A and B are shown apart, each in its own frame.
Chain A
């Protein structure tokens, strides 16, 4: 049985995602901070992409850069800085892809061998969070446009 993922807009500027993992917090923390392990799960197969680059300088002030791609072409990059690194309980980073990027706080709370993970995203404004959510739709539109292109090349 998979544990459910919850997503909730806590306020005009905050989005919270939470889920429980059936493992101690040091293991979950490791999977979030070791590039080799992140590559295994960050780009779900359903997205049809993989994480081609995953650079992590794991310390307060250190940078990270994740690049998604299909094959060797990069189509999306996520980057920013770690503000706080406290294994195995807390990780805070900035998202600097756009001016409206959030500050993400990840907390790992262990209880009876399980870890409650809470991902808290604080956006600079209501508009920035609205735009991110609306962008989810934009992402879909982009995927469909790509499919259109692919279908064009396939048609005789």
Chain B
């Protein structure tokens, strides 16, 4: 099967499929934290935690910022919610059009 580039939503679901990553999101929901803090909290190596944060970052769920030698992580949910809202609005436009199209098609069927 051809592997298409992952959608942002697929990336989000993949990111959320891991218990540690869900835990990290929960943790960041309470307060921003450095990768070192998170590694300690979840009893992981720094490298392991960097990987998890990388996946979350890729999915737009987390943003990180390096200040001095410390990389701070925070929730990046907003972007995702905005995009979902935009797509929903686009869907609604087409849904309204298609409901009208149904009526046209019904008439054509009986011709």
B37 at interface by CB-CB < 8 Å: no
Q: 1/0 contact trace for A106-117 toward B, CB 8 Å?
A: 000000000000
Chain A nearest CB: distance from B78 CB in Å? 14
Q: 1/0 contact trace for A1-20 toward B, CB 8 Å?
A: 01111111111100101010
B104 at interface by CB-CB < 8 Å: yes
In the complex, residue of chain A having the shortest beta-carbon distance to the beta carbon of B8:
A9
| With known contacts A7-B87, A8-B9, A31-B105, A40–B94 Cβ distance under 8 A | no
How many B residues have CB within 8 A of the partner chain? 29
- In the complex the two chains form, is A134's CB within 8 Å of B104's CB? no
8 Å CB contact of B109 from A10, A27, A137, A140: A27
Q: Main SS of chain B's interface residues?
A: helix
A115-149 CB contacts (< 8 Å) to partner B: 119, 133-134, 136-137, 140
B45 at interface by CB-CB < 8 Å: no
Chain A: number of interface residues, binned into ranges: 35 or more
- In the complex the two chains form, is B86's CB within 8 Å of A21's CB? no
Chain A nearest CB: distance from B110 CB in Å? 11
| With known contacts A7-B88, A133-B83, A23–B108 Cβ distance under 8 A | yes
8 Å CB contact of B105 from A4, A21, A46, A137: A21
List the B side residues contacting A61 at CB < 8 Å. none
**A86→B95 CA distance, assembly (Å):** 25
14 sampled A-B residue pairs with Cβ under 8 A: A3-B98, A5-B94, A8-B87, A11-B4, A15-B87, A21-B102, A21-B105, A22-B105, A37-B108, A41-B101, A42-B100, A46-B96, A47-B96, A136-B93
- A residues adjacent to B (C-beta < 8 A): 2-12, 15, 17, 19, 21-23, 27-28, 30-31, 37, 40-42, 44-47, 119, 133-134, 136-137, 140
- B residues adjacent to A (C-beta < 8 A): 4-9, 83, 86-91, 93-106, 108-109
